[in-house]
């Protein structure tokens, strides 16, 4: 068997140059949209504020406030729920969908 050294000229091999890749040619930071500070209003969890203990899957009026017009669950960023209550809301929505109180999608 004869030994052949690897060469940089073969296909798929890296040469010594830096590739631009996804960074847009710059090695530094992210060049995207800049958010203006102060416009965003802090949302508070309405369940913590009103000290509501239980979230029932049969209370459809309450649950529909956390579902978008397309039938998706709203994120806690949009609804303002804390993590604990967002988990309970999502579980209640899933249970209500399973027994057909709430539709899965709206067209």
Tokens standing for residue 19: 């590739």
| Helical H segments across 13-82, by residue range | 46-50, 60-63, 76-79
| 51-78 average pLDDT score | 92
* More confident: 30 or 99: 99
How far out from the chain centre does Cα 99 lie?
26
- Quickly state the pLDDT bin for 14 (edges 50, 70, 90): low
Nearest residue to 79 (alpha-carbon basis) of 69, 68, 71, 93: 68
pTM of the model: 0.61
**C-alpha distances in Å from residue 10, one per residue of 6, 15, 18, 19:** 8, 9, 17, 17
How far is Cα 21 from Cα 28, in angstroms, rounded to an integer? 13
Residue 38 lies in a domain: no
Residue 61: inside a domain: yes
| Within a domain: 104 | no
Name the pLDDT band for 55 (thresholds 50, 70, 90): very high
Structural domains in the chain (count)? 1
Question: Region 28-34: what's the mean pLDDT?
Answer: 67
Is 94 domain-assigned?
yes
Asked if the structure places residue 62 within a domain, the reply is yes
* pLDDT over threshold 60, residue 88: yes
Q: How confident is the model at residue 39 (pLDDT cuts 50, 70, 90)?
A: low
Q: What CA dihedral angle connects 50, 51, 55 and 61, to 10 degrees? A: -10
With respect to residue 21, please indicate whether it lies within any of the assigned structural domains. no
CATH number at residue 86: 4.10.640.10
More confident of the two residues 101 and 17 = 101
Give the mean model confidence (pLDDT) for residues 28-45: 69
Q: Is residue 64 part of a domain?
A: yes
* Residue 69 domain boundaries: 54-98
Residue 24 domain flag: no
């Amino acid at each position: 068997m004869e030994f052949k050294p690897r060469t940089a000229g073969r296909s798929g091999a890296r040469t010594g140059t830096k590739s631009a890749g996804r960074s847009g040619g710059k090695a530094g930071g992210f060049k995207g949209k800049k958010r203006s500070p102060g416009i965003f209003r802090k949302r508070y969890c309405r369940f913590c504020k009103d000290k509501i203990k239980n979230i029932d899957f049969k209370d459809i009026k309450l649950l529909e406030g956390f579902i978008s017009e397309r039938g998706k669950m709203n994120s806690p960023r949009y609804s303002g729920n804390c993590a604990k209550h967002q988990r309970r809301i999502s579980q209640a929505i899933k249970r209500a969908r399973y027994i057909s109180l709430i539709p899965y999608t709206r067209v």
